[in-house]
Structure 1
Amino acid sequence: MSNFEMLNNVEHADLRIKLDRTPEYGDDVMFCMTYPFEFRLVLSHYPILIYQDKDNNTIFPIALFGFEEGENLFLDNGWNARYIPIMVQRQPFSIGFQQVKGQSEKQQVITFNPLHPRVNKEIGERVFNDHGGYTPYLDQVVKMLESIDTGHQQNALLIEALVKYELLEESTIAITLKDGSNYELVGFSTVAEDKFESLSAEALKDLNDQKLLLPITNIIASMSNLGNLVDIRNTHLG
């Protein structure tokens, strides 16, 4: 967070955000974190996998966009999908924390990366209006950041349940394209369907009570989108 600044309507009165979807603006990513509250929308286009970030010792679900680092198969004169995951949409904003004098708990604040290629003062959506108030765009960003904060809690519950019921299955996903080239996706896990199908009624009730049963079935259903990504990549081959 060292590059992030706390947003305010005095220093950043002229701030604008470019909303075009291009590699130059940081959209050339292979995957991004996703959350159970958006799984229904995500699975309309993207495979949902579980990724282990060994550098930070964290495990979380991701939406997959390509087969190698820097590849986003949905970028072509814009982002060609009806839904863009919220962790992409929210750029360059994030939630930060500020210590308020006289209070023991830190207060959440909106922060942004001033070095992000979307940030400028000439082109794009204004962040503040002429009177210093939030624009509709910034109102939307705030709602996204609030959803993301809730989403982190949902992800923690989801991963805890997947580990508890031994549903995580490390997978090497082999991809073969029409030109004969091969790719292997490593470092990802999927939901073990056989173990899921054999869960006891008690376990299924536990997952349902935590509102995790539907997200888990969404993850399983999303795997059919791997074929769609292969089709897109084959189209790019000509």
Structure 2
Amino acid sequence: MSKIEMLNNAAHANVKIKLDRAPALGDDVMFCMTYPFEFRLVLSHYPIVVYRDKANNTAFPVALFGFEEGENLFLDNSGWNARYIPIMVQRQPFSIGSQQIKGSDERQQVIAFNPAHPRVNTTEGEAVFDEQGNYTPYLEKVIKMLESIDIGHQQNKLLVEALDKYELLEESTIAITLKDGTSYELVGFSTIADDKFEALSAEALKDLNDQKLLLPITMIMASMSNLGNLVDIRNAKLG
């Protein structure tokens, strides 16, 4: 595993980030975590499903890009072919870290990054610091993304708790058959059961609406129509 470093303008003065989209730059991912604040943009292209990471006993919504590990159907020689790229992809190679405040038991949030990520270099791309050691507009944009992601984690926690409370999730095996007869079965993902959603009481609907979760839930449901679009893209790649 690569060592994550805390970003600073002395050690990383010359760091640049490649912004092209390509498999070699880490974009060949089958799915990534997504958040309610971006669902409206995500559902314009991608199915949103819930992934249960049983090893870590966590669950969270993800945007689906392909049908097998390492497949991103939105990538080709011209880049990432979609109007919106989920924020968890956009923020790479940066993340939120923490470090202890000197002389205190408290910790503070800091910007961290993976220096071994293929986007990181010192010759091409967007600079992280300017000549005076100040944040560049690019890094300021990244910081806003990281702040949104931090809030998004809390939104996801509330969302999944509500979906579990009202038993709206059903673990599904998503079966896909391509025009050449190739079949795929996607396991480990859950979708929202239409019948259970339709059977929600007025009290439950009010509860979800009061938590500002009703709209995100309906957007997850609406996004499933994009599954057919993924099949079409994959079939087109078959020739």
TM-score by length of 1: 0.98
Cα distance in 2, alignment partners of residues 103 and 155 from structure 1? 31
2:186 maps to 185
After TM superposition, the structure 1 = structure 2 runs for residues 85-234 of structure 1, keeping only pairs within 5 Å, are 85-234=86-235
2:9 maps to 9
Cα distance in 2, alignment partners of residues 113 and 2 from structure 1? 7
Fraction of identical pairs, as percent: 80
SS at match of 2:79: coil
2:61 maps to 61
Q: Once the 2 structures are TM-superposed, how far is the Cα of residue 115 of structure 1 from its aligned partner?
A: 0.3
SS at match of 1:62: strand
Provide Cα deviations, 1:109-141, integer angstroms capped at 9, x if missing partner. 000000000000001000001111110100000
Which structure 2 segments of 5+ residues have no match?
none
SS at match of 1:59: strand
Provide Cα deviations, 1:56-107, integer angstroms capped at 9, x if missing partner. 2210000000000000000012000000000000000000011102434310
Cα distance in 2, alignment partners of residues 121 and 161 from structure 1? 45
Provide Cα deviations, 1:206-230, integer angstroms capped at 9, x if missing partner. 1011110000000000000000000
1:31 maps to 31
Deviates more, 1:18-27 or 1:1-10: 1-10
Q: Once the 2 structures are TM-superposed, how far is the Cα of residue 2 of structure 1 from its aligned partner?
A: 6.3
SS at match of 1:60: strand
SS at match of 1:13: coil
1:20 maps to 20
Letter in 1 for 2:29: V
Q: Cα distance 1:2–1:71, how it changes in 2: closer, same or farther (>3 A)?
A: closer
Provide Cα deviations, 1:126-184, integer angstroms capped at 9, x if missing partner. 00011111101000000000000000000000000000000011100110101111111
Letter in 2 for 1:127: V
CA contact (8 A) 2:2 2:116 kept: no
1:46 maps to 46
Which structure 1 segments of 5+ residues have no match?
none
SS at match of 2:85: coil
Letter in 2 for 1:43: L
Cα distance in 2, alignment partners of residues 203 and 54 from structure 1? 27
Q: Which consecutive aligned stretches of 4+ in structure 1 deviate over 6 angstroms post-superposition?
A: none
Cα distance in 2, alignment partners of residues 217 and 179 from structure 1? 33
Letter in 1 for 2:37: F
Cα distance in 2, alignment partners of residues 132 and 234 from structure 1? 49
CA RMSD for the aligned pairs? 0.9
TM-score by length of 2: 0.98
